[in-house]
Structure 1
Amino acid sequence: MKVVCFLPDSIAFQNKLGMLTRSAGVNFQPCTSEEEAKVFATNERKDRFFLFAEAKKIDFLKDFSANYPECRIVVILQESLQRVIPSLIDCSNIQCFVATNNGEFDARELIMLLKKFESKDYPGLEKHLNFPAVFKEKRIKSQSDKRDAIKILEEFILKIGGNSDRFDQYAQRVCDLADELLLNAVFDANPRLKTADRSAPFELIDTESVRIKWGFDGEVFGLSVADPFGSLSKKTVMQYLDENQKTEHIGKRDSGGLGIKLIFERLHHYIVNVNPGKMTEIVCLMRFEKRFKDFDKRLRSFHYFKVEDSQ
């Protein structure tokens, strides 16, 4: 696997990224200019390769995306994702936006990205949590199933924190997030229920059932919800995350879109895995900070993986 990196304004970050990727056996090529990055891309365009570049290099990213469609682009964020979405929303091969917090990135997030890219094996909450991790899983087919799952989830988080006030706040936040994810999976993803009242009781047949799973490895809490439809596009997600976008202009139900914004505000890493027509899995990762107010200070990462035809 080959990576070209254009981070001329963050040399220390680029060097650290280089050490990390080389340790994973990746061919890492740092570039000091746009021209140098394009020469690398021209020479490697017959093969699958990856570009790491800063979000503020908007014109370069748009040009690179258009001219090298076979490339997969990882954008390094030093500001909120919502601010860069309007400029990059139409770049189809930008898959990942990696947040840096105070100039630092989450090393294991990048290692996971590289592993996913290399293996093309995208789904699975287990990939994102270290071993040993404790997991719980529930299958949702009705309103009562959803209610029971959220109650078990709340008890799981409270138990982690020894019923402290801080973890009571985390439990509320995660349960709100889980409820919204499940509503989106049950109603917005399902063609049969797309126009139904989201507050009404529901009954799903076996082939429509939704799976919720969560786990904790002592450092990171993860939650995933999967539906069997595989219809969520990257552009749809980014449109709803755009803080300037009016949801009524997108052509979809406001409820689902507002839900995506709510979800994004309650996590640190938002990962969408899609197997078209077969499965959409939303993975949410968050660190339970020592102080609850520190939770919202972290920038959010966004990753979108679509199962490739060659798989």
Structure 2
Amino acid sequence: MKLHPAEIAKLLRGFSFFSSFSDEMILQISTMTSIAEFDIGQYILREGEINTKLYFLKEGVAEIILASEVVAILQTPGDVMGEMSVVLKKPVTTSIRAKNKLVCFVIDSNYFSHVPQKDFDKFNALLFRVYSTVLADRLIKTNEKARLFEVANRELYEAQANLEKSTGKNVLLVDSDRKQLVLAKMAVGSSGVNMDVASDLTSAIQLLKSNSYDAIIFDENSKDICKEFKSISGSPKFVLITTKRVEENLPIIKELITIDNVITRDPDDKQLTIKTLLTTLTKLLSDDIFGIEKYLSWGVDIQTKKVSSSSERMLLKQEMVDYFLRLGIRKTILEKLFLVTEELLMNAVYDAPTDTQGKAIFNHLSRKTEVVLDSHQQSILSYGCDGIYLAVSVTDPFGSLNKKTITDYLENCYKGQPENLNQFKGGAGRGLHQIIENSDLTIFNVKPGKKTEVICLFFTELNKKEPNPSFHYFFGK
């Protein structure tokens, strides 16, 4: 791939890094800019190497690797790589590898030492400008990462503190991934909850024969443990934990539909994995599965609004968006939030209300028909943000959602056959599909016949990672 300097300058102008540079300066830089392509798995930079080049991401996704672990990804056009090794003239401290086909603009700092004498002062000033911008950008990112690190650490501490209230409870984790076992043991170990771990079914069965547990968590590779349930003493709560995408999750979830609690995890995100486990145990061991606050830092301002009619939806959504705009939440996140909240409110007004016999009251109506809810039918809209997660939830007083509805609707939507499900129901499950696909994580908390809470989480951190929506559900008794 070869581009004229004017074409390169036009593309560089669109990168935030160069936003304060003059057109003349960008054109000068473009004359010293080349294009490099990297295949999947190919390294752009390797830890310990001497580097003289600045790389600006044009297309693709790059992984930053430290001590053999992927610690971050770069996927925004204009993301800069190799800056600190160039500025400090020291070996590269982290490796960078192409996650897929990658295209970069490359500026070799050695070019600056070969400019004509008459242009030396001008290019020396240009070099200083580039370096100062690199350092300023790195400082901003470092400060933001420090803030996010502090928030994440605080959240983990709070989750662990909440779990300490369940001191004396016994938990069994059966997981074929030994790394996850070690991670879980360390996270739960200091909370006062006793956790036994097993990496295979044989070891798990031996533990079950000699111990009684309040909760048993198992991964999809250990599903055969379900055959031992009848012989298990006590009444433990069972949790299926899986790592796959929603569409790939559904067969195993449907196979184990009798399991009341299902969670997912991202093995590449240790902090989120730990928090998910701690939050899940806190919910189950305390017999309190409800509450948006369980997924946000302690002390976060939670806004709550009553949902009393279908005509209020627009006002409720606009008030929520205005609230988050004042907090500085990006519009791209708020667009998804707006869509998700519309579906949550539609479900709360038209789908959730049932009569004493469990029969839907308003589900047969067109979504354009005005519905006014009696006081005992009204739902609650809640939302808040702790700097890392933005959360919204709608809670209704009916508890009419069930596991089969969730899995059947999603399965048909992913197969492209939503019309196969109850053609008289508005949306035929498309709304549920929209909620999950536009959120980073959706949690269904249900006490059948009493209460349903749907919580949707959105990551506020820039370039958190590639979208991989998932859902959890918890069904109480």
Q: Does structure 1 residue 36 correspond to structure 2 residue 194? A: no
Corresponding letter in the other structure for 2:240: V
- Find 1:87's aligned residue among 252, 261, 281: 252
Q: Does 1:14 align with 2:185?
A: no
Gaps of 5+ in 1: none
What does residue 200 of structure 1 align with? 369
Matches within 5 A, 1:49-128: 49-53=215-219, 55=220, 57=221, 59-60=223-224, 62-64=226-228, 70-91=235-256, 92-102=258-268, 104=270, 106=272, 107-128=274-295
- Report if aligned partners of 2:389, 2:460 keep a CA contact under 8 Å in 1: yes
| Residues 251-260 or 213-222, more deviating | 251-260
Pair 18,176 (structure 1): closer, same or farther in 2 beyond 3 Å: same
Cα distance, 1:179 vs. partner?
Answer: 0.4
- Displacement of 1:18: 0.6
Q: Look up the match of 1:305.
A: 475
**More relative contact order, 1 or 2 (CA 8 Å, 6+ apart):** 1
User: For residues 40 and 195 of structure 1, what CA distance do their matches in structure 2 show?
Assistant: 51
Distance 1:121 1:105 in 2: 23
Q: What is the percent sequence identity of the aligned residues?
A: 23
Hey, what does 2:192 align to over in structure 1? 25
Counterpart for residue 305 of structure 2: 138
Q: Measure, in 2, the Cα distance between the counterparts of 1:248 and 1:58.
A: 35
Q: Deviations over 1:217-265 (max 9, x none)?
A: 1221111101121111122112223334843444472615111111111
* Residue 289 in structure 1 maps to residue 457 in structure 2: no
What is the 5 A alignment of 1:242-261?
Answer: 242=411, 243-244=414-415, 246-251=417-422, 253=425, 255=427, 257-261=429-433
2:304–2:381 CA contact under 8 A, matched in 1? yes
Kept in 1, the 8 Å contact 2:366–2:426? The answer is: no
Residue in structure 2 matched with residue 188 of structure 1 by the alignment: 351
Is the Cα contact below 8 Å between 1:139 and 1:209 reproduced in 2? yes
Contact 1:157 1:170 in 2 (8 A): no
- 5+ residue gaps, structure 2, are 1-168, 354-359
Cα RMSD, aligned residues only: 2.5
> How far apart, in 1, do the equivalents of 2:232 and 2:407 lie?
21
Amino acid at match of 1:87: I
- Cα–Cα, structure 1 residues 151 and 256, in superposed 2: closer, same or farther, change >3 Å? farther
Q: In 2, distance between residues paired with 1:67 and 1:241?
A: 33
- The size of the alignment, in residue pairs, is 297
User: What's the counterpart of residue 341 of structure 2?
Assistant: 178
